Structure 1
Amino acid sequence: MLRDKVRTANALSVNEIYESIQGEGLLVGTPSIFIRLQGCNLRCPWCDQPEALSFSNTTIPVEGILQKVQEFPARHVVITGGEPFAHQNLHVLVRALIEEGFSLQIETNGTLWNEGLDSMAEQVHITCSPKAAANFFVNPRVIKHTNELKFVVDEEFSSDVVLREEFRGLLLAEKVVLQPEGNKVSFLRKALDIQRELSLKGFKVRVIPQVHKLLGLP
């Protein structure tokens, strides 16, 4: 049953809701329900979800989002985008999902934060993927609560980014993933080269391609 305190006045712009597996990062392989929010504050040239970039005034009440999510058997929810933290009511959705017993993951570019999440952040697996479009800037509030760093390895990426001081804690904790852009062979080789370079410096990072694409899943 949905909780009565979830009010339809709280709504978010949603691009799509679907079930698949988590194909990226440290939780790869986890059966997941994806809530893709509409709208992003960055414009990465290789973005694989360009239809989710523009902001929209069309919204779905949180109650409606929960109803859709509960149609699927999976109990892990991934909020992605677009950029989830660009949505003022994100914390309302997060609280509702936690109260309904879902495990929760948020994928973010790291540039923004929602203060409403301060009291719930420890109950959420936050995957931060810093972007070259923002000079790999990450809001300090995001870094504080990040569970993993996922770097897309493309032409602009280098080991110098991983070695930045603000990322050192997660690097030492072995919570860094290198993801070859578009699963392209050239970027896979580059990611492996960077992994070896970092290994020689005493750091362990993981190279994980987009597994869902390899399996032909959404």
Structure 2
Amino acid sequence: MRGDNPIRQQELNDGETLWVQEIFHSLQGEGPFAGRPAVFVRLAGCNLRCFWCDTDFESSKWKPSINDILSEVRAFTDGTTKLVVITGGEPFRQNIKPLVERLLDAELLVQIETNGTLWVDLPESDNLHIVVSPKTPTIHQEIRRRATAFKYVITSDKVDEKDGLPIESTQTNGMKAALAKPEKNVPVYVMPLDSGDPEVNALNTKLCAQVAQKFGHTLTIQLHKLVGIR
């Protein structure tokens, strides 16, 4: 959206219908499950406006029922794909609890990708993984308690010398702002920002590699873009 999306507040109904941007099958390109086949449920709307975000999560008018979403997911989870990624936008902007419960009941592995600012009460499960990519100085205490991984988007020369993590605001280009730090002993993934400029991207990737080596983070690259799939 490149920072031109409307900022939408959390809207919690009974969760039996959700505003969905798209559902598709691909490879998880980043984070702890990188390289694994996955069904992506991209929910619409976001409560933040990141100036570099290149994802469309606003153009859909599709508001399917949970049963319709599960039917779409089942079409792809044919025994070879067991990972379902709920992403956005910001998934916790809507009541995803009923969807998550149904996916877990189906013995699927569920990953939620979130900016960490909102929360909806979810069941505790070894098959539920919350990956938070902080975009603000603070995140919700339940996200902090339950996050299984932290992921940060890195831009060249804009990292903290103490830990290699971003020091630039995601909401205002050029403004310095420390993002929420990870919990101890929780895996940290660093990913280069895709600026759309190959030369800048090369610098971002080089810095990510250096940061990973120096601070013990894990380098993650958007594999789906590298291999030419969505």
TM bracket (short chain): 0.7 to 0.9
Alignment TM-score, normalising by the size of structure 2: 0.77
Percent identity for Structure 1 against Structure 2: 34
CA offset digits 1:170-194 (Å, max 9, x no partner) = xx34x00000011811111221232
Match of 1:77 among 60, 84, 87: 84
Runs of 4 or more above 6 Å deviation: none
- Once the two structures are superposed, the pairs formed by residues 35-114 of structure 1 within 5 Å of their partners are 35-49=41-55, 51-53=56-58, 58-72=62-76, 73=78, 74-87=81-94, 89-114=95-120
Please tell me whether the aligned partners of residues 43 and 53 of structure 1 are also in contact (alpha carbons under 8 angstroms). no
What RMSD over aligned residues (CA atoms) do the two structures have, in Å? 2.5
Please tell me whether the aligned partners of residues 31 and 76 of structure 1 are also in contact (alpha carbons under 8 angstroms). yes
- Compared CA separation, residues 186 and 68, structure 1 to 2 (3 A): same
Give the secondary-structure state (helix, strand or coil) at the position aligned to 1:66: helix
| Alignment coverage as a number of residue pairs | 195
In 2: Cα distance, 1:121 partner to 1:155 partner: 37
Unaligned runs of at least 5 residues, structure 2: 1-13, 166-177, 196-200
The residue that corresponds to 1:190 in the other structure is: 207
Alignment TM-score, normalising by the size of structure 1: 0.81
- Compared CA separation, residues 153 and 70, structure 1 to 2 (3 A): same
Counting helix residues as a fraction of each chain, which structure ranks higher? 1
Q: CA deviation at 1:140?
A: 1.4
Which amino acid in 2 is paired with 1:15? Q
The residue that corresponds to 2:3 in the other structure is: none
In 2: Cα distance, 1:103 partner to 1:114 partner: 18
Unaligned runs of at least 5 residues, structure 1: 1-7, 199-203
- Compared CA separation, residues 24 and 167, structure 1 to 2 (3 A): same
In 1: Cα distance, 2:29 partner to 2:157 partner: 23
In 1: Cα distance, 2:202 partner to 2:181 partner: 29
* Pairing 1:154–2:158 present: no
* Pairing 1:167–2:187 present: no
Q: CA deviation at 1:57?
A: 6.7
- Compared CA separation, residues 156 and 60, structure 1 to 2 (3 A): farther
In 2: Cα distance, 1:9 partner to 1:127 partner: 21
Which amino acid in 2 is paired with 1:142? I
CA offset digits 1:85-112 (Å, max 9, x no partner) = 000x200100011111211100001111
Which amino acid in 2 is paired with 1:112? L
Please tell me whether the aligned partners of residues 15 and 99 of structure 2 are also in contact (alpha carbons under 8 angstroms). no
Q: CA deviation at 1:122?
A: 4.5
Which amino acid in 2 is paired with 1:217? I
The residue that corresponds to 1:201 in the other structure is: none
